[in-house]
Amino acid sequence: MVLSPVAIAAMFAGAVLLIGLLTTGVVVERAGVRDSLRRLEGYQIQDVRDQEMLAPISERVLSPLADGVGGFARRFTPEGYRDQVARKLVLGGNASRVSVDQILVYKLVGLMSGLVWLPLILLGLHLTGLLALLFVVVLWGVSFMAPDVSLSRAIERRTHEIAVQLPDILDLLVISVEAGLGFEQALERTTSAVPGTLSDEFRRMLRETRFGSSRADALRAMGERCGVSELRTFILAMLQADTFGVSITRILRSQADEMRIHRRLRAQQQAQKLPVKMLFPMVFCIFPSVFVVILGPAMIQLAQRF
């Protein structure tokens, strides 16, 4: 009985999956034992090897490999690109705690992915000529630009969320300050009542002031981390109020009114962009289907007559 290549590949994949499951079970069991030993009172690490074995397998195996690849990627990174990536990570919030070296590793893997896409397109899909070259170039470009696109999308989502949330927080700040609370107390109460990215940034600003930083420096640092023009306007107004002794309540009320106007203008601007964004789907997806439905019977009748 001769097995087909598909059956052989399926058996090989099943064997690899079974080995992986068994290995994962053993690793998880050993990790549980190590965690239990770590919780025991008075447990002492005997030597350096025992201390290293307490770390997860990802840190013991994958971290040295990632460090080596990251060092190789840093050698060929253009000057100033690391600073740009670090700035984008700050503006994007870095929710997944991705480092600059990890982004460089992702870029390097995407750059070398052409070695995978080329045989996959030629041997797997059996494409040749210009079409195969087009597929390889598109897949290679997507793999190489995926980290940058992901960072840009994260920055857009975060800045949009901050700009939308800012008027609501300012309204609550106005109410709290007018009720007799100080600016820090009102800000703490407002951020606890309104969860979100901007509230997290305000809480970080309050922590920095409690650790010894001045309010002006903490506000400027928050503006640099967020990169939202409306928030920078509010911070500049607060700094001027502290400098010239203007009433904070009046500044907050005027800023809240102005931020609501900015939010409405932002929504109108996004609504005006919709026709342009809908043009390409309509031309390439909707119009061909409509033409087939409308002109299809007429073309069939003309073909039968002639």
- Confidence band, pLDDT 50/70/90 cuts, at residue 19: low
Among 81, 95, 270, 287, which residue's Cα sits nearest to residue 200?
Answer: 95
Q: Which residues are CB-contacts of 249 (< 8 A; sequence separation ≥ 6)? A: 174, 177, 178
Top-confidence residue, 155 or 7: 155
Among 10, 196, 174, which residue's Cα sits nearest to residue 187?
Answer: 174
Q: What is the mean pLDDT of residues 98-127?
A: 74
User: Look-up: residue for tokens 């309010």?
Assistant: 215
Domains of the chain: 158-266 (1.20.81)
pLDDT value at 51 more than 70: no
Instruction: Indicate the pTM of the whole model.
Output: 0.66
Among 204, 228, 229, which residue's Cα sits nearest to residue 217?
Answer: 204
Query: Tell me, what's the pLDDT at 94?
Result: 73
Name the DSSP letter for residue 61: I
User: Look-up: residue for tokens 């059996």?
Assistant: 126
Q: Any idea how long the chain is? A: 306
pLDDT value at 27 more than 50: no
CB 270 within 8 A of CB 163: no
- Confidence band, pLDDT 50/70/90 cuts, at residue 228: confident
Q: How far apart are CA 106 and CA 86, in angstroms?
A: 15
- 127-142 residue pLDDT tens: 677 777 787 788 888 8
- Confidence band, pLDDT 50/70/90 cuts, at residue 289: confident
Q: Within 13 Å and on the Cβ side, how many CA atoms surround 60?
A: 11
Q: Within 13 Å and on the Cβ side, how many CA atoms surround 170?
A: 28
- 235-248 residue pLDDT tens: 888 888 888 877 78
CB 166 within 8 A of CB 234: yes
Q: How far apart are CA 175 and CA 143, in angstroms?
A: 49
- Confidence band, pLDDT 50/70/90 cuts, at residue 45: very low
- 71-84 residue pLDDT tens: 656 666 666 777 78
pLDDT value at 29 more than 70: no
Top-confidence residue, 232 or 33: 232
Q: Which residues are CB-contacts of 203 (< 8 A; sequence separation ≥ 6)? A: 188, 191
